[in-house]
Amino acid sequence: MAHTDLDIDLLRRVLSSRVVGSNVLHYDLLGSTMDEARRLAEQDAPEGTVVIAEEQTAGRGRFDRSWISPRGQNLSFSVMLRPTAAQLPFMNMAATLAVYETLVDMTGLAPAIKWPNDVRINGLKASGILIETTMEGPDVSYAIVGIGLNVNFDPSEFPEIAPTATSIIRETGHKADRTVVLRILLEHFDDLYRSVKAGRSLTEEWSARLETLGRTVQIRWRDTVTEGHAKSVDEQGNLVLTRADGSTFVAVAGEVTLQI
């Protein structure tokens, strides 16, 4: 195991009484934390298992895009959960809000959420979230929540993301303790997940932080593009657009392009 500034023993101790973080696994190198978390889920690993990798050879974001994260500088991890089908829409909201609150705690700045789950600071992406679910008929077998958070790297060194990405160190000018960042994030995530399990909806809290609402947006999904006014989100987190002809379009997933 290569040297790392992540104090895994400390994380295991402080998270031992929680669901999220009840089992923390740290790897120097993985193909993908998503794939490893899925493998563990199939082996009946405890709910809340967290898989962290210093480096991924096949890390991915939404739409199978590669996720750029230099070794040991950021946080790349996946959490295995077992929500009910009714709770599933709130997994994205819980993860996104956990990242949002962590960035508030760590930077003192005001992040915003670009629907459905990019967390941005000053219009630049600091975090991305990916959720993959395995169903057995109508029931959820497990859900894997992947989170990438830019902590201590400078995105300007990577031309393909330099115009669109940021990080905690870029926004604050100070290197962050990744152990502290991860502990805060997992604690927020656990608090939110517990509230969902207790029957609480996160829709109102999540939608209040969406920068997408009130804007004219284009939704790109496969080969189609739909444009309209982002009016609201429904209880499930789907984006409700009003098109120019007055009709309503509900976007379940897709690529959002904000129009100025």
pLDDT at 115: 93
- Strand pairing class (23-30; 75-81): unpaired
The amino acid occupying position 168 is I
What mean pLDDT do residues 151-172 have?
93
Inform me whether the pLDDT recorded for 47 exceeds 60.
yes
Query: Greatest CA span in the chain, whole angstroms?
Result: 59
* DSSP tag of 234: -
Over residues 200-230, the pLDDT tens digits come to 999 999 999 999 999 999 988 778 889 999 9
User: With 80 as the cut, is the pLDDT of residue 27 above it?
Assistant: yes
Average the pLDDT over 235-243 and give the result.
94
Cβ contact 161:128 at 8 Å: no
Read off the pLDDT band of 248 (50, 70, 90): very high
Return the structure tokens found at 104: 């508030």
Residue 258 pLDDT greater than 80, yes or no: no
| Residue of 57 and 164 predicted with greater confidence | 164
> Rounded CA gap, 179 and 223, in Å?
42
Q: What is the mean pLDDT of the segment spanning 78-90? A: 96
**Average pLDDT, integer, range 80-103:** 96
Mean of all residue pLDDT scores within the chain: 91
Q: How confident is the model at residue 70 (pLDDT cuts 50, 70, 90)?
A: confident
C-alpha 148 chain-centroid distance = 7
pLDDT tier at 63 (50, 70, 90 boundaries)? Answer: very low
Query: For the chain, which domains are there?
Result: 8-207 (3.30.930.10), 216-259 (2.30.30.100)
159 vs 185, residue with greater confidence: 185
The DSSP secondary structure of 56-108, one letter per residue, reads: ESS-B-GGG-B----TTTSEEEEEEE---TTTTHHHHHHHHHHHHHHHHHHH-
